[in-house]
Amino acid sequence: MSCRMKEQNMTLIFRRVIVLIVGAWLNFYPGQGRAELERMDDAELSEVDGAGLGVVLEGFKFSHGTDVPDANGEQARIFKIGGITSTDGREVDITVNHLYISGSGSNYGENLSPVNLGRLINPYRIDVVDGNTFGVKGKAVLEFAAPAMVDSAQGFNCTSASAVVGSGPCSSRPATVDYIGERPDIGLQMNVRVGDDRSANINIHAVSAVIDGSYLRLWGDNDRRQMVGQFKLNFYSPELSIHACDQSGETCGSRVLLKDFALELAIGNELQPVFFDVDGAGNFVVEVAAIQQPATGDIGADGLRESSNAATWDFYESYYTNPDYRSNLRIGNFRVSDRDFGSMRVEGMLIQHLDIRTRDLAP
């Protein structure tokens, strides 16, 4: 939601800038029409490495939700997501009771306070970058990036709300007595209605959240003539809690607490980018193609380098050992109510092939 708002503001600026440029160009062109604009090919464009746009939100606070109806059944605020159908054909609608982004110490969204997002010396970035620098050869790549990871000597522990400098790779700082910090509390409280059943309330809160090192890179694939991308989502929080309450929100069930939560999700890489498309029946398709098979005889029967084509063997060795292609999930302690289930780790997940397709269940 915050993202959409930010985009609205950004689009406003961009629109104005574009109007200005178009205005200036319209004016300039008829009189001075000497030079002709020439098309740049991918190779030329990939050499372009302009200054990107840095974005920082200062003192940011966001909140929207749905109010409890008054005596006349009127609601001042409504925030609804609908149009979804359950597998058995019943209509699903989600009433968002509260969605917030706040400074730390919000007590699950009760006391909202401002927070900074991004650092002036390491901001959120929108940039066109040279694909050669990360293996997308001869392409200009549009990149949306969260603050980059830094050297551990200058950084902060990602999952500690009291981290000090030199404790980890995250750039965003936790709140201190003197400074509001760059790690927001984020929460979503919602009521899910399936058919006439309005019993499911789900509340998710993340304390002191960090998304440093996340990015979305987009470019075009010449052979498939399609938009492709690479997506990395890092999400760290010292405490992620999920719990269900009754409709009034007063009686809550057991709280599921995920302590020291760290998700590093990599979807698509330079060898296997993600493809986005809509098929002929109007369904959205997300695809990660399988890595190509080696030619027959390129890899020896014993699988060793000596008996294989060295270049091919090295290619697969690097593909299977590169930690950047892997996704990780680490939970320091998994607790339900007052029971501790200990820590959990899923590390080194590699997406070999992915094909997600939405399907219309409506008749």
Partner 1 sequence: MMTVATTNVLLLLCALALSIPGQSAAELKRLDDQALGAVAGQGGIYLSGDVSINELGGPVENSYFGRCDDETRKCGARFAYRLKENGGWMVLDDIRGNFAFEGLTLRVRTIDSGFGGDGVLFRADVLELGLPNTVRFNDVRFKIAASSTARPTDPGFQQTDIFSVGMRGEVVMEGNLLVFPVGKP
Site residues (CB under 8 A) for partner 1, limited to 184-243? 224-227
CB of 153 to partner 1, least distance (A): 16
Of 2, 99, 118, nearest in space to 53 by CA: 118
Contact 172/107 with Cβ under 8 angstroms?
A: no
Q: Which of residues 277-306 bind partner 1 (CB under 8 A)?
A: 277-284
DSSP 242-259: EEEE-TTSSSEEEEEEEE
Q: Would you count residue 90 as binding partner 1 (CB under 8 A)?
A: no
Other Cβ atoms closer than 10 A to 4: 7
Which position among 3, 35, 37, 51 is part of the footprint of partner 1 (CB under 8 A)? Answer: 51
Of 105, 25, 13, 126, nearest in space to 61 by CA: 105
CB of 248 to partner 1, least distance (A): 20
Shorter beta-carbon distance to partner 1: residue 270 or 277? 277
Shorter beta-carbon distance to partner 1: residue 83 or 342? 83
- Alpha-carbon dihedral of residues 165, 167, 168, 169, nearest 10 degrees? 20
Other Cβ atoms closer than 10 A to 138: 15
Which position among 43, 68, 81, 356 is part of the footprint of partner 1 (CB under 8 A)? Answer: 81
Q: Would you count residue 55 as binding partner 1 (CB under 8 A)?
A: yes
Shorter beta-carbon distance to partner 1: residue 31 or 342? 31
Contacts of 133 (CB under 8 A, 6+ apart): none
Q: Map residue 91 onto helix, strand or coil.
A: strand
Which position among 40, 78, 164, 356 is part of the footprint of partner 1 (CB under 8 A)? Answer: 78
From 111-119, 235-243, 256-264, 297-305, give the range in contact with partner 1 by CB under 8 A.
Answer: 111-119
From 50-58, 206-214, 258-266, 305-313, give the range in contact with partner 1 by CB under 8 A.
Answer: 50-58
CB of 144 to partner 1, least distance (A): 13
Q: Which of residues 9-38 bind partner 1 (CB under 8 A)?
A: 9-10, 12-13, 15-16, 19-24, 26-28, 31-32
Q: Would you count residue 154 as binding partner 1 (CB under 8 A)?
A: no
Residues, the chain, total? 363
From 44-52, 133-141, 256-264, 289-297, give the range in contact with partner 1 by CB under 8 A.
Answer: 44-52
- Cα separation, 157 vs 185, whole angstroms: 17
Residue whose token pair is 């694909």: 131
Question: How many residues of this chain bind partner 1 (CB under 8 A)?
Answer: 77
Which position among 123, 147, 169, 238 is part of the footprint of partner 1 (CB under 8 A)? Answer: 123
Of 140, 150, 120, nearest in space to 58 by CA: 120
Shorter beta-carbon distance to partner 1: residue 52 or 249? 52
Which x/- pattern over 126-145 shows residues binding partner 1 (rule: CB under 8 A)?
Answer: -x------------------
Q: Would you count residue 363 as binding partner 1 (CB under 8 A)?
A: no
CB of 157 to partner 1, least distance (A): 16
Shorter beta-carbon distance to partner 1: residue 56 or 204? 56
Contacts of 104 (CB under 8 A, 6+ apart): 113, 115, 161, 174, 175, 180, 181, 183, 184, 185, 207, 208
CB of 296 to partner 1, least distance (A): 32
Strand partners, 101: 62, 186
Distances (CA, A) of 72 to 75, 93, 167, 198: 9, 22, 55, 21
Shorter beta-carbon distance to partner 1: residue 80 or 345? 80
- Cα separation, 82 vs 95, whole angstroms: 8
Shorter beta-carbon distance to partner 1: residue 59 or 323? 59
